[in-house]
Amino acid sequence: MTDTVLYDLADGLATITLNRPDAMNALNIDTKVALRDALLQAAEDPAVRAVLLIGTGRAFCVGQDLKEHIGLLAADREAHAHGDQGEGSTMSTVSLHYNPIVTAIAGMPKPVVAAVNGVAAGAGAGFAFAADYRIVADTASFNTSFAGVALTADSGVSWTLQRLIGHGRAADLLLFPRNVSSAEALELGMVNRVVPAADLAAEAAAVARRLAEGPTAAYAAIKESLGYASCHGLTDSLTKEDELQRRAGASQDHRTAVDAFVQKRQPRFTGR
């Protein structure tokens, strides 16, 4: 990975760190490519059992790097002036970067914890919303920000945010972007836990390590069932639960857990 995104794997936990603190972890092209590739690496590596996504400095991620964006818009206008009627390089970042990043977070068969250490805006908020568990510093905040620069939602926010807080509240935050404090985010159901900022790194790592040590095949099935049920009816969702439960029931981890329960000891899971 480039130095804008750091990748560390230890004891089954992949920690992916956005590392542009001077730019509040704004997403320039290098950072987006590195983050996408880091997430795909974690998703495909059987040694990775859980992922922790965090930022350095005072922000989690403020979304698109607008300084770079201005230059790309100028290049698009220049190309258009010379007869190029194509889509242009600027907004192709949604299909090239944001969509694969969110798909990797939400779709990988292992839990992803977002540790939101500061402001999460635009695509940065979208990445946090796509995670399976959000633990947030008490000084952190969220802002959809898209309408403020005359853009629509991307990075999955149109799908994830309304499932977290409901259609009406999601519409309000998208139409009228504002800072949502960590306390309000917890009240709305946008996040799972709020902790003192000084404790965030340790608390988030503990949560992620606990998941990495757990029955990760079962976690993958839980993640799949939630995603499936969010856009299917009850009958289809029951069928999917049956399919997934049969698979989980045949796993080594399930047998290990049952044996440990009978023997009154803690199970040691392998993810198989």
Percent of the chain beyond pLDDT 70? 91
| Pair 119, 59: CB distance under 8 Å | yes
Of 60, 200, 62, give the one whose Cα is nearest residue 135: 200
Q: Give pLDDT tens digits for 242-252.
A: 999 999 889 88
pLDDT for 2 equals 65
According to DSSP, the β-strands at 180-181 and 141-143 are antiparallel
Q: Give pLDDT tens digits for 157-215.
A: 999 999 999 999 999 999 999 999 999 999 999 999 999 999 999 999 999 999 999 99
The domain spans of the chain are: 5-212, 216-262
Count of CB atoms within 10 A of residue 25's CB? Answer: 30
- List the single range of 8-12, 98-102, 258-262 with lowest mean pLDDT: 258-262
How far apart are the C-alpha atoms of 272 and 269, rounded to whole Å?
A: 8
C-alpha torsion angle, residues 73, 77, 78, 84 (rounded to 10): 120
Q: How far is CA 102 from the centre of its chain?
A: 6
How far apart are the C-alpha atoms of 63 and 126, rounded to whole Å?
A: 9
Q: Does the pLDDT value for residue 85 go beyond 50?
A: no
Q: What average pLDDT does the chain have?
A: 91
Please check whether the two domains, 5-212 and 216-262, share a CATH topology: no
pLDDT for 138 equals 97
How far apart are the C-alpha atoms of 94 and 146, rounded to whole Å?
A: 13
pLDDT for 253 equals 87
Max intra-chain CA distance, the chain = 75
How far apart are the C-alpha atoms of 242 and 109, rounded to whole Å?
A: 18
Q: What pTM, to 2 d.p., does this model score?
A: 0.89
Helix, strand and coil content of the chain, in percent to the nearest 5, comes to 55, 15, 30
Domain 5-212 annotated CATH 3.90.226.10? yes
According to DSSP, the β-strands at 193-195 and 133-137 are parallel
| b/e burial code for range 146-165 (CB count within 10 A of at least 16 → b) | beeeeeebbbbbebbbbebb
Q: Does the pLDDT value for residue 74 go beyond 80?
A: no
How far apart are the C-alpha atoms of 261 and 266, rounded to whole Å?
A: 8
**pLDDT band (50, 70, 90) for residue 240:** very high
Task: Kindly state the tokens that stand for 190.
Answer: 């946008």
Residues in the chain: 272
Task: Kindly state the tokens that stand for 104.
Answer: 């990797």
According to DSSP, the β-strands at 112-116 and 133-137 are parallel
How buried is residue 244: exposed, middle or buried, by Cβ count under 10 Å (0-12/13-18/19+)? middle
Q: CATH assignment of 216-262?
A: 1.10.12.10
